[in-house]
Amino acid sequence: MNDTTSASATSHDNSNTQAVSAPVAKKIPHEMSIHNDTRIDDYYWMRDDSRTDPEIIAHLNAENSYTDAVMAHTTALQQTLFDELKGRIVKDDNTVPVKQGSYYYSSEVSGDNEYPISVRATDFSGTDKQVLLDLNQLASEHDYYDVSSVSISLNENLLAYGEDTVSRRIYTIKIKDLTTGQYLADEITGTSGSVAWQNDNQAFYYIHKDPQTLLGYQVYRHRLGTPQADDQLIFEETDQTFYTSIGKSKDNSLVYIWHSSTETSAVSFIDANDANAQAVSFLDREVGLEYSISKLDDWFYIHTNYEAVNFRLMKVATTDIANKDHWQDVIPAQEGAMLEDYEIFNDYLVYQQRENGLTRITVRDLHTQQQQQLHFNDEAFTLYLYGNKEIDSDKLRLYYSSMTTPGTHYDFNLNDGSNVVLKQAQILGDFDANNYRSERIMIPARDGKSVPVSLVYRKDCFKKDGTNPLYQYGYGSYGAIIDPSFSSTRLSLLDRGFVYAIAHIRGSEMLGRPWYEDGKKLTKQNTFNDFIDVTRSLVEQGYGAKDKIFAVGGSAGGLLMGAIINQAPELYCGVAAHVPFVDIVTTMLDESIPLTTNEYDEWGNPNHKEYYDYMLSYSPYDNIAAHDYPHLLVTTGLHDSQVQYFEPMKWVAKLRDVKTNDNRLLFKVDMEAGHGGASGRFKALHEDALEYAFFIDLLAEQKLI
């Protein structure tokens, strides 16, 4: 390939600076035919799986240079925003210790360090603290650094973790002897990073990834001191629509192998006390049946959708696991209330449900069957269980937050119902929760369904007269719920008069499993309609000014952004699309691209004409048209393992060629990062500062603030 960036176009999308040239990519028509339909992709050549093609790297660098040039006049604003964001963060901080075995585990950050230090102690207060890992030292020689979950052997002397220095989510497992502080010679490459120890402390289980598709599909047992080539294959997933993961039961007796696809899940288990154990299936897989399990004495508790759209909890004796006829109801299916999570203790069952979009947690005494429900006061909030590692415990760990309440950690006493606040996130500066207000409203979509919307704004900056700028966020895929929670970075927008809205659109499970089912595959258009209808209604109700609307989404939320700017571009002043999944048809037809086959139950399989036609009707890349588009900021990471860099790269090139106005189209590529963006707690704030400056500058340029 030659002359990638030889062409240039003069951009006049920034009246505050001299005109600069936007990179214009060459076109090499590439035909793709299926179902008697032919598409021409002029930018297919941009794909380079090795990420080494000099021409492609040069083009990405040119995009970065163009973005830097267009945004150069905002350098001071970006620095101001960065300083604000960083200034609210406590430099010396720690997580709330979690009890597991003989120790309390936590992590600490200090000063300007980008990464935490993992520690443990024998008491909650940490009087005899032991440093396990200093990620700042480990990351010092790398532009990107990430550690997977840490796993401790049963004798508590060995620590295993996965290390990723590329951001492709392929980890090398390393083992540290906590008695000597030295590393073992064992290093296991090409893994998911997860480790489950055998109970003799001499071996562990891990998942090997396919280097092309990045699917974890093989479970191996590694015996310490032996080469990886000698590791024993315990399980191999032959169905590429399934993800594989591992974990361990609370009583440490079993290693779980989780098999999960979008619409079907299953579990196998391994006896952690048997050095030669093989995997045993809990129940043969059934298409459409989803379940997960927890073990308590001679019973398995089963969280399942078996004859329950919104899931229920059942149990079965360990001797009868393979027969669903023996499963007994513990928490029956409830219409309108989705069973989201649960925790089993020796004496208590705790379960989390969601009804009308709001979470509730109930505690049941397993001996008396008496129940009590936990109550919170905010109109909309985030509430979940975490860190409950011990099966013989009378304390329940909870996390709570709302859009005006910083994250708060509780220990709830299961015996007497008392609460202890362990910690609330400290927000530095002049933050006062009383200055802000959160609302939860329901907005009718065009088909009559009501869409929940969470809102937050600064009281003295909000008039509800249609003059405020509005920042609207959405996702709407995979059933993922974006609960309303606190964000200190968001304050920089609220204090400048922005109203912040989360549209809980279809494709999530905010209103239960049917809300998800009504926003995927052949109903995906509902996701986009909901977001657009929420925008229109918020403007009509005076929450935002019609010429000050900004929309943001990432990954599958980036697909949402791509769809709305094709379908309703006139509604939005500016849009930020982060790591956007925008070339859905081409990607889903290519099984060599990581994670494609796992996504068929989410989007549909375009090898079937019905799905091909439907996906083609909304695919952002395929539906770019010659009309005006909002101002756009697009970001990606060169090493993204979820949405490959070439999707947004192609999208930007085609948009730049086809769109009919001179609105800004900026493409920022992190040449070291992947799907999650920059590593490090402060470095990532530069990305937020860039996005905020992009929006604020648009308002200033148009004299709207």
Active-site entry in 675, 686, 688, 697: 675
DSSP state of 479: B
> Could you tell me where the beta strands, DSSP code E, fall in 58-178?
93-94, 98-100, 103-109, 117-121, 130-134, 146-147, 151-152, 158-164, 171-177
Angle at 627 between CA 622 and CA 630, to 5 degrees: 90
To the query of whether residue 504 is one of the catalytic residues in this protein, the response is no
Active-site entry in 555, 619, 641, 679: 555
Strand partners, 636: 669
To the query of whether residue 640 is one of the catalytic residues in this protein, the response is yes
Quote the longest CA-to-CA distance of the chain: 77
- Between CA 212 and CA 49 the distance in angstroms is 9
- Between CA 516 and CA 331 the distance in angstroms is 22
Active-site entry in 146, 164, 530, 640: 640
State the DSSP string of 174-232.
EEEETTT-PEEEEEEEEEEEEEEE-TTSSEEEEEEE-TTT--EEEEEEEETTS-GGGPE
Closest to 567 measured CA to CA, from 602, 533, 594: 533
- CA–centroid distance for 288 within its chain: 24
Closest to 260 measured CA to CA, from 301, 215, 199, 224: 215
Which runs of consecutive H residues, i.e. helices, occur in 199-338? Answer: none
To the query of whether residue 59 is one of the catalytic residues in this protein, the response is no
CA torsion sign, 222 to 239 to 259 to 357? positive
Contacts 24+ apart (CB under 8 A), 214-217: 214/168, 214/169, 214/170, 214/594, 214/595, 214/641, 215/240, 215/243, 215/244, 215/594, 215/595, 215/597, 215/598, 216/191, 216/192, 216/243, 216/244, 216/245, 217/244
- Between CA 522 and CA 507 the distance in angstroms is 11
Query: Which residues are marked as active site?
Result: 555, 640, 675
